[in-house]
Structure 1
Amino acid sequence: MERKTYYISLTEGSISQNRTASSWDYQIQATDEEITQLREIFDQNYSSDWQGFWRAHIPFLQYHFDRENDAYDNGLQQVFKMIYELGDEETKAHIREQGLMDDIVE
């Protein structure tokens, strides 16, 4: 399958082929199938984020003890793993320098 260049914004959860359409954090090369998979992870994280918002209104359970937060945290790890694997050298270097994937990236 043909790989295309995409620009990823983590804060917006956006994936674009247009470099100037909006701000972006990472540049990757991906197939249509890989982009679909990344979009699904973004969508799951968005849903988990809203669930966390509503649970935050019940203050008796701290974040690190709330098992529901694992879904969001794991989703974020999956996003970073995909971005690292599909990213250009600048993207990979940034992720390594920030220590975002220390347990996965050699």
Structure 2
Amino acid sequence: MTEKQTYYVSISGKRVEPEPSINDQLTVTATQAEISELQQLLDQIQRDDEKTQFRAPIPYKSADNDKATDKFNEDIIKVYEAVYALGTAETRDHIRQMNILNKLHDSDYDYPGYER
């Protein structure tokens, strides 16, 4: 069994660090494999973000029906789901207060890390 360690996740910085820094970070406890998976999700939102930035300066193009924006939104939710599942009690409380994970409100959702 692989030992879990404490890591600090900066979603805006799209990175996981072994030591806390001055940036806003969420604390998780995870194995190295779990952190690798989380970093892959963060890398994906970085790629999504790069795609959406090309549309941003076009004033007549709405983001309402933009596939790149939809993909970014879906992937950022995946990141928050992963951080919630690995997060400390304080991290989970913070994410609950953000009210961005609808799955936390669905009592029929039965996955580890999500409350009933």
Correspondence list, 1:1-106, <5 A: 1-19=2-20, 21-101=21-101, 103-106=102-105
| Superposition CA RMSD, Å | 1.4
1:66: Cα distance to partner?
0.7
Residue type at the aligned position of 1:76: I
Question: Unaligned regions of 5+ residues in structure 2, if any?
Answer: 106-116
Question: What is the distance in 1 between the residues matched to 2:22 and 2:73?
Answer: 25
Corresponding residue for 2:113?
none
TM superposition outliers: structure 1 runs of 4+ over 6 Å: none
SS state of the match for residue 65, structure 1?
coil
Asked if 2 retains the 8 angstrom alpha-carbon contact of 1:48 and 1:72, the reply is: yes
In the aligned structure 1, how far is the partner of 2:88 from the partner of 2:80? 13
2:104 alignment partner, SS class: coil
- Structure 1 unaligned residues grouped into runs of 5+: none
Structure with the bigger RCO (C-alpha within 8 Å, sep 6+) is: 1
> Structure 1 residue 22: deviation in Å?
4.3
State percent identity of aligned pairs: 27
Instruction: Please give the TM-score of this superposition, normalised by the length of structure 2.
Output: 0.81
Q: Tell me how far apart the structure 2 counterparts of residues 94 and 22 of structure 1 sit (CA, whole Å).
A: 18
* Separation in 1, partners of 2:93, 2:58: 40
